[in-house]
Structure 1
């Protein structure tokens, strides 16, 4: 029986030695980004039954020591530290960044990323960061597509977009004299991204004024119930009014009238609001301007003049307008158009949801990619490899990959890194406990050796 205690003590030495190695590794990585500390768990070895297995008396069993049952990673959240480096990313919550080398996927909590000489976003070990690239019609990144390497090319050009809407938030003087004009311009773009000047000129025309009782062409010839002040408008393209053409008001000319409150009452032959109820008329539409030949060989343009400010629910209130006639001043407060010319990518940054945003020299910002986050049914089953990376196993199950904030995934914090979750006080306490465990088991061995020596000395 004494010989067995040698191996019992040896198992204790071996198990506590493993635990001391784990603690040493934890402390060595106390400043490693994204590192998750490990914990050693022991299990009793019980396989020697002396007697009592036939139902006579209680069983007498002798333990044969201890074994290391598992070394598990503790995935508590580490603190987030701001670095100021745009490509550094941290996950707040569940999940792992996905990287790939030669088609082999690996996963990490360390977002110490950068770009290589080919423009690929890479981790510290050179593996390529994975994400989503395609965009939806609204310009946001489509996370339903396949994972791919994230890559960008500083200096690449963004495609232009032709102008489809223009808006002028302007005031025309209520004291303007007959024939007095006011012009304002906005830069617009054709399908090739070439800029042009689109100008609208308003002219006060007293012959268009209506008094109470006059036939109102915008109300089917019915008698006007209020006094109205008339203006004409005329659009020009690069200073040439003849380039704006088309049927109806597509030729860029028309008539607007203001009511007694200085707000737009009608545009061309359409009332903004019902004269009886005061509610918005859904049949009233913004003028459409046609530019058959922009002058650069680009496609013809159809541009909406956004003059009417329509409520979300037309039954809830009146239409308003972006054109008014108050006071004695002419002015334009805001210009808007939705086109843009081609631009060169100058810089990138990451939003708080992991979307890579590109900044172009034409002032445009576009979503370029989105970082993918992977989760596992059993993250404790992952196999840890060098560099703070993990590989899936049969125990962990396959990776479930999507964008941030979905399926219980955490969110991405840009320009930051997750610190190690090692607690010095806890590790030092465990170090003392396992040191004492090692010493105690060594005492078992030395005591057993002394007893055997006594047995050998019985016969002299």
Structure 2
């Protein structure tokens, strides 16, 4: 029987060497869980004691009865990859196997966004959210903020005093000099600029002013004095045409001022915040300048700049307009018994009858761990311990081999004696 026992020792030691070798080989594998071999002795026969009547059991060798994985926490190492994730505490990430459609579980959080927007691991398995649905993220160029809107900046320019003869007002890039010989009220000064349209020429301005008078309105003071006496900036002195774009806005009917308040509302054409218009003056009777007030800063569509993961597993998008939005939430599966899981490769496990049914929910709920973004959980292999165990397993293998060798020699001797 010693030959059989020696062979069982060889098989058991070989199994242990295989498990330890796998541990050491995967010491740098993200999320890897170390394994160990459980051994049990095999009873071969009973010997009766003639004196006591008690039976004595003799060993029949050793059996590698089970390989058990340790699901203890591995060290967490941070990195600069925004969609990498590690679990600190209990639970596992849930994924969908794209080939068989099975739900599998892992502690390896090396996640990226694929070309169709799904959050996947290195094998293309889709990551599930807290409700058990595959996570779909925004894909460029349609990666705009769900909360941002495009609005125009609106500036309000309020004139607070009358303008004396030969006084000047520079409104953005256009300058008006009062050569009419009479004082202009604040309302009249405001009306000078609000009567302009994009592309206006002295002819179109005069025609519109004449039409206003015919309809019972008031002539534009700028026109009764021979249009603008001085022109600066964008005004084309060659053609005498008001530029299409002026102060970042289109000069249209929409920019007409409320003359009763001696104010001009300037609506810009560019979305988002714009520089406040420049207004200056000289010759006001009180010596005061107009008041320029930005009433609406304006907003622009926000485009996705980056993503990050918080401790609740929320994937947060940061946009160019300064806004943020929660795009998805990575789920964590709680396994009733980790040791009952079946390892299926690709650093993943499947549920079995022994593991119980996993339940997926948000991180940091009902015993689930938290999630660390831009981080990975390292292997929990202890190389020092496994190297020492490897030497012991090697010695056990060599010793069992010696048992087989000696038993073989004994059998050869017995065979020789019979001859």
The question of 1:409 aligning with 2:409 is answered no
2:38 pairs, out of 24, 38, 41, with: 41
Alignment of 1:398-437 (within 5 A): 398-437=357-396
The question of 1:388 aligning with 2:347 is answered yes
How has the CA–CA distance of structure 1 residues 448 and 417 changed in structure 2, closer, same or farther, with 3 Å as cutoff? Answer: same
How has the CA–CA distance of structure 1 residues 376 and 437 changed in structure 2, closer, same or farther, with 3 Å as cutoff? Answer: same
Q: CA deviation at 1:20?
A: 0.1
Structure holding more helix per residue? 2
Q: CA deviation at 1:459?
A: 4.1
How has the CA–CA distance of structure 1 residues 239 and 90 changed in structure 2, closer, same or farther, with 3 Å as cutoff? Answer: farther
Residue aligning to 1:153: 139
Q: Tell me the distance in 2 between the aligned counterparts of 1:239 and 1:159.
A: 33
Residue aligning to 1:16: 13
Q: Does the 8 Å contact 1:159/1:341 carry over to 2?
A: no
Q: Tell me the distance in 1 between the aligned counterparts of 2:320 and 2:78.
A: 28
How has the CA–CA distance of structure 1 residues 93 and 200 changed in structure 2, closer, same or farther, with 3 Å as cutoff? Answer: farther
Stretches of structure 1 lacking an aligned partner (at least 5 in a row): 133-144, 162-191, 204-236, 243-293, 295-334
Q: CA deviation at 1:41?
A: 0.9
Q: Tell me the distance in 1 between the aligned counterparts of 2:366 and 2:51.
A: 54
Residue aligning to 2:118: 120
The question of 1:194 aligning with 2:126 is answered no
2:82 pairs, out of 57, 80, 86, with: 86
Q: Tell me the distance in 2 between the aligned counterparts of 1:432 and 1:370.
A: 46
The question of 1:374 aligning with 2:333 is answered yes
Partner SS, residue 346 of structure 2? helix
* Rg (Cα) greater in structure: 2
Q: Tell me the distance in 2 between the aligned counterparts of 1:238 and 1:47.
A: 102
Residue aligning to 2:408: 449
Stretches of structure 2 lacking an aligned partner (at least 5 in a row): 161-253, 260-266, 268-294
Residue aligning to 1:269: none
Residue aligning to 2:66: 70
Per-residue displacement from partner, 1:337-396 (whole Å, max 9, x unpaired)? 9x9664332321222332111112221111111111112111011111222111111111
Q: Does the 8 Å contact 1:154/1:347 carry over to 2?
A: no
How has the CA–CA distance of structure 1 residues 447 and 346 changed in structure 2, closer, same or farther, with 3 Å as cutoff? Answer: same
Q: Does the 8 Å contact 1:98/1:105 carry over to 2?
A: yes
Normalising by structure 2, we get a TM-score of: 0.63
Partner SS, residue 26 of structure 1? helix
Q: Does the 8 Å contact 1:128/1:150 carry over to 2?
A: no
Q: CA deviation at 1:55?
A: 12
Q: CA deviation at 1:419?
A: 1.1
Alignment of 1:293-332 (within 5 A): none
Alignment of 1:164-183 (within 5 A): none
Q: Tell me the distance in 2 between the aligned counterparts of 1:81 and 1:239.
A: 61
Q: Tell me the distance in 2 between the aligned counterparts of 1:336 and 1:39.
A: 67
How has the CA–CA distance of structure 1 residues 424 and 336 changed in structure 2, closer, same or farther, with 3 Å as cutoff? Answer: farther
Alignment of 1:251-270 (within 5 A): none
How has the CA–CA distance of structure 1 residues 99 and 31 changed in structure 2, closer, same or farther, with 3 Å as cutoff? Answer: same
How has the CA–CA distance of structure 1 residues 447 and 340 changed in structure 2, closer, same or farther, with 3 Å as cutoff? Answer: same
Structure holding more strand per residue? 1
Partner SS, residue 5 of structure 2? helix
Q: Tell me the distance in 2 between the aligned counterparts of 1:160 and 1:354.
A: 21
Q: Tell me the distance in 2 between the aligned counterparts of 1:153 and 1:421.
A: 35
Larger relative contact order, structure 1 or 2 (CA cutoff 8 Å, min sep 6): 2
How has the CA–CA distance of structure 1 residues 82 and 160 changed in structure 2, closer, same or farther, with 3 Å as cutoff? Answer: closer
How has the CA–CA distance of structure 1 residues 129 and 459 changed in structure 2, closer, same or farther, with 3 Å as cutoff? Answer: closer
